[in-house]
Each structure stands twice: as structure tokens, then as C-alpha cells.
Amino acid sequence: MALPRFQYHEPTSLAEACQMLKAFGETAAILAGGTDLLVKMKNRELQSQNIVSLAELEEIKQINVTGSNTSIGACCTISQIAESVKIRSTYPALASGAECLGSPAVRNLGTIGGNVVTASPAADLPPALVAYGAKVRLKSEDRERFFLLEEFFRGPGATHIGNDEIIADLHLDEPSECSGAGFFKLGHRRALQCSIINGACYLALNPQSGEIETARVVLGAVAPTIVRASSAENILMGEKPSANLFLEAGRAATRDCSPIDDLRGSAAYRRDMIQVLTNRTLHAALENIR
């Protein structure tokens, strides 16, 4: 299926890209990896006369570590994240999310910025990003702002990004020393699979008492946006990790979700799996600490 015709623009800096975006207004669309955008354009779900390509913009294709901050440029590919030594060692749940996205060829094209801004409730990277407390930096011609990623999503396909804004990068703080995280994805097959549900858990323990100081339980494909399962987190906080505690947290997590029946699974099946996989992923997070 042929793509519709459009004008193609290749800015050489993020600043120039922001200017173009403002100038073209609603006629513009951003090309990063193209794995979502080009499919939507082929399907005629999206018509844009001006494609602003960030795909070759080196400025936002780097993973940079500055002190305790890691920034991941919006056009880093999924493969780049899955293979990064820094991400694999410091943010393993994010690397796991990246490893199971799409297929090898899709991972070589798709980008973290695209995965975030597309705002699919079943996207593979946001659960781990939110579990690690990621922030997203938005740039426009005349301003810059940060969002906590968990507050960035409004609904399926909708975020707080403005028409004139571009995701520049995602920022992650170094996790505390006594912390760990895990990721899960449940699908009908392992590749090219939109999740039935997915999620990530992050646990930080008090090094002296061994009690849970911070717990983040993040679930995807269970509601219109990814959710923080606060009922589960409340059960975990201040307690020492145990098999019973994790079981109870898994049960509580279902209360924070509003799954639907769709072609990938029923709401009832999703609720059952939320319980099982939250429990399992909490164990994985705990293992990751040691």
C-alpha cells in the first residue's frame, strides 16, 4: 500500500525541528522510527502534509549519564536501549521491556520517544519507565518543560504534549542502592505481540531494617492509560518483603485496574493475570536487589 504524498523535512537540530513544527502547525507530523506513523499513514488514519523527520538527528539519539542522572534521547532505538550496558545494569526492567518489543527489525527502527508519545496503554516501555520514576522533557521553540511520565498520559493515544512540542529525552535517576525492579509481558506469542497485560514493579528497601521504603507497581493494558496500583503499593510500604505480602499485594492490584474484554483477552482473565503476574514480578524485583 503506497504512502500518501507529503513534503519531507530533515532538520539538523532539535531547535530547528521545533521551529518547523511551529511553522507547519497542524499540517505537521513527526517521524522518529516510523513503525507507528507510516502504518497509520498507509491506513489513511492520519494525513499530514509535512513530515518532520527526527530519525537521523544525532542530538537525540544518545544515552548520556551525568552523575546520578541518565538521559535517553527520544530517538534512541529500542535495540539501542535493549543493548545498552548502562540500561541493562542499572535499569534491567527497562531493558526487559525493550527486548520483548515487536521484532528485531522493528526494534532497530522504533524509538523510545515514539513508544511513549503513541500512548498505547499496552506499550512495552512505559511500565518500567514509570516504575523507575522517569521524567519526560518536552521542547518547543520557546519553552521547555518536564512531566513525570506517569502524569503524561491522558488516555489511549493521548498525552499532555502540545502541538508545537517534541519529546527531547527521558530522564531517570539512579535507583537507590538497596532497590530492584522486574518487568513482565503476557502475550499470545513472544514476538510482534501487543500485550494482553504487562507491568513493572520497583522495590526499594531500607538497608538497616529491610522494610520496603518505596514500592511502585505499574500495570499496562488494564485501563485507558497505564496505572500505578496504589492499593498494592500501600500494602507493601513499611513492610518486610514476604511471599504472603506479595500475594496480598497482587490481589490488591486488581482493585486499581479496569480491564476490558477485547480480542486479546477477557476482563476476567486480565484480572486473574494481574494478581498472578504482580505477585511474580514483585518476587523478580526482590531477586534483582540481591
> Given the rule CB under 8 A, which residues bind other proteins?
1-8, 10, 31, 33-35, 38-39, 42, 51, 53, 55-56, 79, 102-106, 108-109, 190-192
Residue number, 4 or 162, with CB nearest to other proteins: 4
CB of 87 to other proteins, least distance (A): 18
CB of 8 to other proteins, least distance (A): 3
Residue number, 123 or 172, with CB nearest to other proteins: 123
Residue number, 34 or 133, with CB nearest to other proteins: 34
Alpha carbons 192 and 212: distance in angstroms, whole number: 36
CB of 60 to other proteins, least distance (A): 16
Query: Starting at the edge strand that comes first in sequence, how are the strands of the sheet with 166-173 ordered?
Result: 63-66, 69-73, 166-173, 135-139, 144-148
Cell of 260: 476490558
Residue number, 191 or 243, with CB nearest to other proteins: 191
Strands 197-205 and 179-186: antiparallel
Residue number, 124 or 256, with CB nearest to other proteins: 124
Residue type, 148: L
Alpha carbons 31 and 10: distance in angstroms, whole number: 10
Residue number, 33 or 127, with CB nearest to other proteins: 33
CA within 13 Å, CB half, 209:
9
- The contacts of residue 13 (CB under 8 Å, 6+ apart) are 57, 59
CB of 48 to other proteins, least distance (A): 11
Longest dimension (CA), the chain: 63
CA distances, 202 to each of 19, 114, 121, 205, 243 (Å)? 39, 24, 19, 10, 16
CB of 99 to other proteins, least distance (A): 9
